[in-house]
Structure 1
Amino acid sequence: MLLHKPYGVLSQFTPEPDSRWACLAEFIDVPEVYAAGRLDADSEGLLLLTSNGRLQQRLTDPRFGHWRSYWAQVEGTPGPAQLDQLRDGIVIQGQRTRPAKARWLKGSAQPDLPERTPPIRVRATIPTSWLELSLTEGRNRQVRRMTAAVGLPTLRLVRCQIDLMDGHPPLGLDGLAPGDWREVSAAEHKRLNTLLSSRGGRNPGVRRRG
């Protein structure tokens, strides 16, 4: 299943005691499925849910390093040096991030998303910009830490794609409004089965310009 997780929702079916955040059970009434990976409660976007333990393990094991893409609305205007820093890797929490893809989304390339509830913080004197970042790792609040490190604090974060294998179309948010979910298509199901039958992981150290 593919879910467009809204802002303010934990990537789990059990609510946290005394938490202000909602949980997945408020959106999905399907037994025996679990999130393959996670998004922070204050992040939005694509979440894959499955009852297949092997698939869940394959998609969360860092050895396989599949690409995950995010739209980040940031405070400020990115320059070439900042984009190069994001691509080359940044030391956060004492460890350098793997090479990534990064591009500035301008004009019609900006994502067509509904306004977030609650809305982001906007300062009249500072513009906001949209970046697309693709990573092969998922460290704690990594995108937010990376953009902050180059002087572009993230105001809104949306995962837009999960790339299963080179040469195959990625899973995406197409047709899903926040809070909506659907079962994977027959073609997507076939790609997931192919992923499970394949061996070995990717080389996450290969630099890919975006």
Structure 2
Amino acid sequence: MKYIILNKPYEVLTQFTDEAGRATLKDFVQVAGIYPVGRLDYDSEGLVLLTDDKALQHRLSDPKFKVEKTYWVQVEGLPTEQALTELRKGVYLKNLKTAPAQARLLTEEPPIWERTKPIRFRQHIPTTWVEIKISQGMNRQVRRMTAAVGFPTLRLIRPAIGPLTIENLQPGEYRELTQEEVSKLQHLAGASAAPKRRR
């Protein structure tokens, strides 16, 4: 089995082909037979896990197994405690309410790299970094959540999935997981999958 994590750069599709000629995973990872676990938006950056382990891929992609994903979100403005509380309780995106999230302000900018296209700068509007942790995977969920509480996302980075982090990986770099990391991931993904015993 192959297990790889990539630090996906900005404006790269989380797939291996694109008829429109946009950048894809193939531009960075030349390993046959592996596929991304879940997705990370074209305009988002950070950790993407790739594997040929179909059982693990299914469990990590399925919200019922509650594998936590961490996001660093640069938002426009300074989120209020009320906005953070709403994120923690869950917000409505159209007719669906998100599951409760963990959300906290970061007191300083996280250890990140320069983006290839800088975010738009507005002299009189501050920006703030927020850490959000969720186990769902709705389309563009984090961006929609921050917008729903009044603070649009300017930049979105995923530094971690469960125990895996992109520490020491620059955009476009990847590495194989250690056996210890694979074991932790399998344990995490399978922890809630064990059948309940009948009494």
Shared fold, TM over 0.5: yes
The 3 A distance-change label for structure 1 pair 43 and 99 is same
Identity across the alignment (%): 49
Cα distance in 2 for partners of 1:23, 1:29 equals 11
Q: State the match for 2:7 in structure 1.
A: 4
C-alpha displacement of 1:197? 5.2
> How far does the alpha carbon of each residue in 1:162-202 deviate from its partner, in whole angstroms, 9 at most, with x for none?
11xxxxxx11111111110000012102223434654528x
Instruction: Please give the residue correspondences for 1:154-193 in structure 2 after superposition, counting only pairs within 5 Å.
Output: 154-163=153-162, 170-193=163-186
Partner of 1:63: helix, strand, or coil? helix
Partner of 2:104: helix, strand, or coil? strand
C-alpha displacement of 1:125? 0.9
Cα distance in 2 for partners of 1:25, 1:199 equals 33
Q: State the match for 1:208 in structure 2.
A: none
Instruction: Please give the residue correspondences for 1:35-74 in structure 2 after superposition, counting only pairs within 5 Å.
Output: 35-74=36-75
TM-score (norm 2): 0.92
User: Any unmatched runs of 5+ in structure 2?
Assistant: 195-199
Partner of 1:132: helix, strand, or coil? strand
TM-score (norm 1): 0.87
Q: State the match for 1:76 in structure 2.
A: 77
Cα distance in 1 for partners of 2:133, 2:49 equals 17
Are the aligned partners of 1:71 and 1:160 in contact in 2 as well (CA < 8 Å)?
yes
Partner of 1:59: helix, strand, or coil? helix
- The partner residue of 1:18 within 14, 17, 20 is 20
Instruction: Please give the residue correspondences for 1:103-182 in structure 2 after superposition, counting only pairs within 5 Å.
Output: 103-107=104-108, 110-163=109-162, 170-182=163-175
Q: Which range moves more in the overlay, 112-121 or 187-196?
A: 187-196
Q: CA RMSD in A?
A: 1.4
Give the aligned residue type for 2:170: A
Are the aligned partners of 2:103 and 2:132 in contact in 1 as well (CA < 8 Å)?
yes
The 3 A distance-change label for structure 1 pair 97 and 199 is closer
Cα distance in 1 for partners of 2:152, 2:190 equals 40
Give the aligned residue type for 1:84: T
Give the aligned residue type for 1:116: R
Cα distance in 2 for partners of 1:128, 1:32 equals 41
> How far does the alpha carbon of each residue in 1:19-59 deviate from its partner, in whole angstroms, 9 at most, with x for none?
5x310000000000000111010000001000111111111
The 3 A distance-change label for structure 1 pair 193 and 66 is closer
Are the aligned partners of 2:13 and 2:23 in contact in 1 as well (CA < 8 Å)?
yes
Are the aligned partners of 2:75 and 2:154 in contact in 1 as well (CA < 8 Å)?
yes
Partner of 2:184: helix, strand, or coil? helix
Partner of 1:49: helix, strand, or coil? strand
